[in-house]
Amino acid sequence: MLVIIIYIHFLGSKPKMKIKHTAKMEQCTHHNPRVQEEGSQSVSTAVQDKEITSSLVSPMQLPVFENQISKKKSNYKELQGSSPDVNLGRITKRRRKLLLKSSPLPLPITNTTLGLPSVLQKNKNLSRLYKIQEERKQLMREVCTKYKSSSKRTITPYHVARIFVEDKHKLLYCEVPKAGCSNWKRVLMVLNGLASSTKDIQHNTVHYGNHLKRLDSFDRKGISHRLDTYTKVLFVREPFERLVSAFRDKFEHPNSYYHPIFGKPIISKYRANASRAALRTGAGVTFKEFIQYLLDVHKPVGMDIHWDHVSRLCSPCLINYDFIGKFETMEEDANFVLHMIGAPKNLTFPSFKDRHSSEERTTIKITQQYFAQLAPVERQSAYDFYYMDYLIFNYSKPFNDLY
């Protein structure tokens, strides 16, 4: 119980955020400093919104651990504060160098600057995880401030539409598809008392049962109160690896939604001499065709949450998240969260794969094999597309030839 109270204390004061409640969800215009805005319609099972191009990257390296950042990587950290959005406009190689040179080096993080509670100092593992969290959050604030817009923005229901609510333990979880979201929803259902074990919950129950509350279902006061007082959690994944995972799941297996909705228009626009069967079913989209669609300013069909940017799905430059977890260290990060919110001791984060369980998980190695099918210019464009996600969450460039 003491650890829980201390955790609440060291999360720090959460600034109240002004919320503008509208009857209709507002369009989120999250900007990317490397690519220009596009106007194709975004397709999702829940909502259709305008698609705005962000930045994409290649998947050839493991992420940089926060406590082992090289001097070269520190250039990308030389940013300060936290801000709602970032400016549009393509950044040239020369301009990027000037931006990095003009940025001051961040202060080193120590126990003093962290204000590390004495109880956590006695537990080396908890102390280490706490420091990692402070470093991740500091970097996120610095990047957001570096690319902030001069105009102030307010949190609307749109910005919290992907955040799930667990009131008993005062937890807010922002859903990022292909970054452990299915198992996180299972955990939320157990915390809510809707199931006794994560193993008892089927995939369709998780995603289509509507058992979990979303933050945008509350009124303005309810949203504001929870953002101010609940623990806000976000889990991310190496952007290219997440992209390949989504492609394999949605296009390499039978799918009654993604093949007709996305596959048919993709094949129709990007495949020369497509067969009648392919045009009729939308099955058999290649990875190269998928990337052509992703990078096209005039997409034949809009974006989808499974490959949309985390920076737009969860608005990390607008919402002050208390915890930034990573798919690469999922078990450790997730169980740290559960420990700190006072979850039942017998509840641990599940590691099973419930879809295509016989198939190997998407790894960096597999991701490299997919991106090897692309030309260097396509990989660079993909990196540009997910650039902000790479920058905000401190993932290294997956290919040496990227700039």
Question: Rounded to whole angstroms, how far apart are CA atoms 125 and 132?
Answer: 11
103-119 tens-digit pLDDT: 333 333 333 333 455 55
Report the candidate in 161, 201, 167 with the shortest Cα–Cα distance to residue 184: 201
Compute the distance between CA of residue 160 and CA of residue 313 in angstroms, rounded to an integer: 9
C-alpha dist (Å) from residue 72 to 8, 105, 136, 139: 35, 11, 17, 15
User: pLDDT-derived band of residue 65, with 50, 70 and 90 as boundaries?
Assistant: very low
For residue 379, CA distances in Å to 288, 316, 387 come to 11, 25, 12
C-alpha distances out from residue 116 to 9, 10, 171, 231, Å = 10, 7, 22, 18
- DSSP code of residue 317: T
Q: What is the pLDDT of residue 116?
A: 53
**Beta-bridge partners for 50:** 41
- Give the confidence band of 4 by pLDDT, cuts at 50, 70, 90: very low
pLDDT at 354: 73
Residue 289 or residue 103, greater confidence: 289
**Whole-model pTM?**
0.72
Q: Which of 32-41, 65-74, 186-195 has the highest mean pLDDT?
A: 186-195
Q: What share of the chain is helix, strand, coil (3-state, %, to 5)?
A: 45, 5, 50
Tell me the per-residue pLDDT of 6-49, one tens digit each, with 9 for 90 and over. Answer: 444 444 444 444 444 433 333 333 445 554 433 344 444 333 33
